[in-house]
Structure 1
């Protein structure tokens, strides 16, 4: 009898252990997680996310912000599952990254537009550019194309009508401008060495440049390059991502962007 009782008790312990493990796994499943980790550039993305924190807290979520200072690692971390979402890029950049790295990251909502601008410490007007002047632009495919198209709109060069023009697609360069491609984060540091530099707004702001005041030429506000929330495909409808999307597209965040950046950063929702 004691032997049979021992077997029964052992069976109950085993069932309890299995049930307990299953319950523990379910409670920490990705569908009902309450802590959201988002990778972001320092300015303005992390600043905006700081204002999202209390909105999400009211919904029972804790937002953790992981700051990145380049355009590669946020997507690497997202694809590797180290973060739940990222907020630093626009759709053309995301599409190019997916194609080049064979990843499957998707956008969920648009948040804001950062007008790309042409800056200089050496001249006050683009009319002052001379033959052979030095120009620095971003070296990643989507932002290089964007910069070249901006230079074209400013009347400095002409490029082929292709999706992602590169320097080899320049069809007219009457003043023989010398164009150098560099990492986008380094462009503000080039202003002492080149005549003009085409800089993304987030890096301009980090360098204490005000796009609406300091840019010699600024991208139009109807730019298609809206910055977005990105996640791994399959996670876009998870409750915690839906909560993040709703919070970052809230009236409170729209007002914050308008009040804080005064036209340098424009809401896209």
Structure 2
């Protein structure tokens, strides 16, 4: 069984593995065994791309033999999948990275747990006006998500690109100091799913876009003028479930998403590095 990362601490203990999937879970260190002749229904919420595509691969190639009857529900935003999981409409969801998960648990009190990272979608800076960060002018307008965890991520990317400096976790786009923002960049906050649309706004010099919305818009990471490093990246996307989950199919789904078959599918489906296993 894969390690479980609790919402309270980052430390992992084999004993927690039993709690993660309830009394039906297997012993730590062993694979979950289900009966393909009597499959276990698992309803999972996901973003369409890449999460939904990855789940469709599992559904078509791995789920039946593993004893899972997988139902995939696609969500267009970042709010509803956690609410649906909390209410019991879903057995699990697969759309968020760890910092967003932690922020939501702290802010809304969700009783959730999650597995290890399945993949990383590098955050990127795109522009229809400029071909490098250096070309962004003093006072240029940057469109940025209003989601706190991803906003910090975007500001750090701008710092790495040489446009900002001394960014800390409590730095906000609309209250950034002159010292942190020596070029006097202006920021416009938008919902994550809207940012990519504002790339075409003639007033915008650049937009910071989440990985799955990059893919939804038909953009490629290769076209970005700045992109997040993968080495040491903490923004791995994970499967989440309720702490009181007793459906053993959830554990099996998380296990399948970490299989060699899924890793190879990700590499073949997104060879340009838009999505990276792990």
TM-score by length of 2: 0.81
Write 1 or 2 for the structure with the bigger share of helix. Answer: 1
In 2, Cα distance between equivalents of 1:258 and 1:70: 25
Residues matched between the structures, number: 237
In 2, Cα distance between equivalents of 1:34 and 1:240: 6
Distance 1:177 1:169, change over 3 A: closer
User: Does the Cα contact within 8 Å between 1:142 and 1:164 map onto a contact in 2?
Assistant: no
Question: 1:197 maps to which residue?
Answer: 207
Is residue 123 of structure 2 the alignment partner of residue 116 of structure 1?
A: yes
Note the residue ranges of structure 2 that are not aligned, 5 or more in a row: 1-21, 25-33
Question: 1:221 maps to which residue?
Answer: 230
1:52 maps to which of 52, 58, 63 = 58
Question: 1:264 maps to which residue?
Answer: 274
User: Does the Cα contact within 8 Å between 1:139 and 1:181 map onto a contact in 2?
Assistant: yes
1:183 maps to which of 170, 188, 191 = 191
Question: 2:49 maps to which residue?
Answer: 43
Distance 1:77 1:253, change over 3 A: same
In 2, Cα distance between equivalents of 1:192 and 1:247: 39
In 2, Cα distance between equivalents of 1:160 and 1:138: 16
**Higher mean C-alpha deviation, range 66-75 or range 163-172:** 163-172
- Listed one character per residue, the Cα deviations across residues 34-89 of structure 1 (whole Å, up to 9, x for unaligned) are 11010000000000000111312102211010000100000000000000100110
Is residue 74 of structure 2 the alignment partner of residue 85 of structure 1?
A: no
For residue 249 of structure 1, report the CA deviation from its aligned partner. 0.7
User: Does the Cα contact within 8 Å between 1:159 and 1:165 map onto a contact in 2?
Assistant: no
In 1, Cα distance between equivalents of 2:171 and 2:113: 23
Q: Within 5 Å, which residues of 2 pair with 1:35-184? A: 35-53=41-59, 54-161=61-168, 163-167=169-173, 168-170=175-177, 171-184=179-192
User: Does the Cα contact within 8 Å between 2:91 and 2:247 map onto a contact in 1?
Assistant: no
Give the structure with higher Rg (CA): 1
For residue 206 of structure 1, report the CA deviation from its aligned partner. 0.6
For residue 109 of structure 1, report the CA deviation from its aligned partner. 2.6
- Listed one character per residue, the Cα deviations across residues 74-109 of structure 1 (whole Å, up to 9, x for unaligned) are 000000000010011011001111111121222113
In 1, Cα distance between equivalents of 2:125 and 2:156: 12
For residue 234 of structure 1, report the CA deviation from its aligned partner. 2.9
In 2, Cα distance between equivalents of 1:30 and 1:106: 15
CA RMSD across the alignment: 1.8
